[in-house]
Homo-oligomer: A and B are copies of this chain.
């Protein structure tokens, strides 16, 4: 006993000595500094020069070129040089060196205000400028770099380098939206403009949401508050109707593809054939259990054929369009979870499957693509570890795989498609950021950058990665624990479980800070154990791990979170009577669920923007996991947290944004209403004029409020 005490004192003194000169993070730093003040050193605009064994990045307001063979660096364009040319063309001088895209080995593309400039880097001359409306949004540059498509309000236009503007659509009904993302950005959709490969056609989404109910948000910054309606297609209610138009730049005519009935379907994975004759659409039914990969004639709009179909008794969730090979325009690849994991399939254009290219109990997390000859196929996957991402190269013919990255962590490689190199940009719990040049055989050429620890002068709390098992022993569960810098194992600490827990998320990764937000470290240093676990339902763990939540949200998720709690309770330094939980959005749903359904476990909860009742959530995401309310009354009832308000024992703070158009305020407000009806005391706060979650400077206020709530009540 005496020995231990002395040891404790020694440890204590060591910490004091070591930490004496270290600084403490301020709340402001913790909330706003992670990507700015404490963003790890990196190289800006790192890119390969086409057809050359050279890469460039922006350094000291100049573009520097680096030769892979000689390692020689040379400045190829300074901001001053660039500006003198830019200004001579009547454009505004740039304040910083612009982000550039290599268009060919001698030309780059960049933007000056609302002008797209093609620039010959050898001749130091502007080759073309496409000027578009300064209010233009959703800009998409044509593959030939001669045209820019963009939207003004809900209409689509094209500007070309001759200063001509083509009005592609001219709808005045505000319920008709052209050229924008549809289906609430689900199914991997993040835009509504699709240039044909040779820039002769422009395909675009047209969304008719006139039949969709408005959700009324209220803007309190006008002289008298005004309604700001947002079209919100709620689960089980009327959805919007999307079609795909094809604008012919030659004749100015638009043809709509005959995507047919029922109109409430999802047009996903839009792709052009290389010859511009066909468009391929992953047509998914509203039930989201049956996908047809359909081919349409881009000229006539006629349906040509269904190439293949995918069905599931859970759901089918397309995420990427098909992608044609470089050398064989009659073959393409398709990404699917049909065998339980996210893999790549090679298809003939007639719809016959050539072969499944990748296979195994792991997920492809990103397709990088084929080399120029379609012999090698590059991708990132979780094969090494579910919490890491490594680069692999598949020999398409042989079917053999080569792992190209070795150091454990999360890799964001930049692969040269025509040379034998890749640049490995990566980080891990130990490495803030490192950039290495490798050959595509996996041989290290040289290190380009090793970022120093941005927190070296700060008293940082301690991260540990934890691996647990689901109660049925079937799956590993990954978790993260952050302890105060002055952690004393003899003490008892309160714990805050930070949770998200919904699909398309992975909070625990072998990445810098372990995937955590910096405020979690700040909060740990205030005397908390911060704990996060990715439960079933989250990403990169195969389809079954995710889809077990189908029709029954919060059941398996909570079961897994309880694995985490049991682990915490096993730790001598955890005060088992002081466990809190916090999360936003799906994590808000989880937080309230856990406070109500595990009321004896959690003493304090803070739920931000929580889904309270899935019938108030939107169709695309909501019905995928829950079906429609009348198709799944039991599931909706069990996940409707209003039915459990009387269970509440601990202190619960609900936070919502009054302009939240993702999880609409009706969720929290009906929850309060039900609490009041049942005489249940609950706390609430509202962030006016913010949308889903609180961004910007106001986030300091939010995190302060959250931490204070735990300080006061946990």
The answer to whether A686 and B684 have CB atoms under 8 Å apart is yes
B224 touches A237 (CB 8 A): yes
Contact A227:B225 (CB < 8 A) given known A672-B688, A688-B672 = no
| Nearest-Cβ distance from residue A629 to partner chain B, whole angstroms | 10
Which residues of chain B have C-beta atoms less than 8 A from A708's C-beta?
A: 681
Q: B218–A218 contact, CB under 8 A?
A: yes
Which size bracket describes the interface of A in this complex?
35 or more
Q: A673-703: which have CB < 8 Å to B?
A: 673, 675-677, 679, 681, 683-689, 698, 700-701
Task: Give the contact stretch, choosing among A180-188, A322-330, A662-670.
Answer: A662-670
The docked-state distance in angstroms from the alpha carbon of A683 to that of B708 is 11
Is A223 on the interface with B (CB-CB < 8 A)?
yes
What chain B residues lie within 8 Å of A648 (beta carbons)?
Answer: none
A516 to B428, CA, bound (A): 65
Binary flags per residue of A2-24, CB closer than 8 Å to B gives 1, else 0: 00000000000000000000000
Q: Are B681 and A705 in contact (CB under 8 A)?
A: yes
Among A215, A666, A672, A688, find the residue whose CB has the most chain B CB atoms closer than 10 A: A688
Chain B residue numbers with a CB within 8 Å of A420 are: none
CB closest chain-B residue, reference A679: B701
The CB with the most chain B CB atoms within 10 A, among A216, A234, A676, A704, is that of: A676
Q: Interface code A250-281, partner B: CB below 8 Å = 1, 0 otherwise?
A: 00000000000000000000000000000000
Q: Are A687 and B676 in contact (CB under 8 A)?
A: yes
The answer to whether A152 has its CB under 8 Å from any CB of chain B is no
Cα(A708)–Cα(B683), bound, Å: 11
Chain A residues with a Cβ under 8 A of chain B: 213, 215-216, 218, 220-221, 223-227, 232, 234, 237, 616, 658, 664-666, 669-670, 672-673, 675-677, 679, 681, 683-689, 698, 700-701, 704-705, 708
B residues in contact with A698, CB < 8 Å:
676-677
With the chains together, A610 CA to B683 CA distance in Å?
Answer: 19
- The CA-CA distance from A232 to B224 in the complex, in Å, is 9
A700 to B686, CA, bound (A): 23
B701 and A688 contact, CB distance less than 8 A: no
Chain B residues within 8 Å of A213, by CB:
224
8 contacting pairs across A/B (C-beta < 8 A): A215-B225, A221-B670, A225-B664, A225-B666, A658-B669, A669-B688, A679-B700, A684-B684
Which residues in B have their C-beta under 8 angstroms from that of A701? 675-676, 679, 681
- Taking CB atoms, residues of chain B closer than 8 Å to A669 are 220, 225, 658, 686, 688
CB-based contact A676/B688 at 8 Å = yes
Q: Which residue of chain B has its CB nearest to the CB of A702? A: B676
Cβ contacts under 8 Å, A221 to chain B: 670, 673
- Chain B residues whose CB sits within 8 angstroms of the CB of A687 once the complex forms: 672, 676
**Cβ of A677: which chain B residues have Cβ within 8 Å of it?**
698
Chain B residues with CB under 8 Å of A705's CB are: 681
Tell me which residues across on chain B come within 8 A of A684, comparing CB atoms: 684-686
Closest residue on chain B to residue A675 by CB atoms: B701
Q: In the complex, A686 Cα to B676 Cα: how many Å?
A: 10
Contacts of A673 in B (CB 8 A): 220-221, 688-689
Please report the C-alpha to C-alpha distance between residue A675 and residue B220 in the assembled complex, in whole angstroms. Answer: 14
CA separation between A324 and B237, bound complex, in Å? 63
Contact A216 B226 (CB under 8 A): yes
Give Cα A463 to B297, complex, Å: 88
Instruction: Tell me the nearest residue of chain B to A688, going by C-beta.
Output: B673
Q: Find out whether the CB atom of B683 lies under 8 angstroms from the CB atom of A683.
A: yes
Q: How far is the CB of A604 from chain B (nearest CB, A)?
A: 14
CB-defined contacts of A672 to chain B, threshold 8 Å: 685-688
Inter-chain CA distance A213–B226, complex, in Å, is 10
- Complex alpha-carbon distance, A234 and B222, angstroms: 13
A234 touches B224 (CB 8 A): yes
A666 with B227: CB separation less than 8 A: no
- Of A218, A226, A704, which is in contact with the most chain B CB atoms at under 10 Å from its CB? A218
> Closest CB of chain B to A121's CB: distance in Å?
46
Chain B positions within 8 Å of A666 at CB level: 220, 224-225
Q: Among A215, A616, A658, A686, which residue has the most Cβ atoms of chain B within 10 A?
A: A686
CA distance A688 to B642 in the complex (A): 14
CB-defined contacts of A685 to chain B, threshold 8 Å:
672, 683-684
Residue in contact with A679 in the complex, picked from B215, B670, B704, CB distance below 8 Å: B704
Contact partners of A683 in chain B: CB under 8 A: 683, 685
Q: Are B220 and A227 in contact, with the CB atoms below 8 A?
A: no
Chain B contacts for A700, CB-based, 8 A? 679
A701 CB to nearest chain B CB (Å)? 5
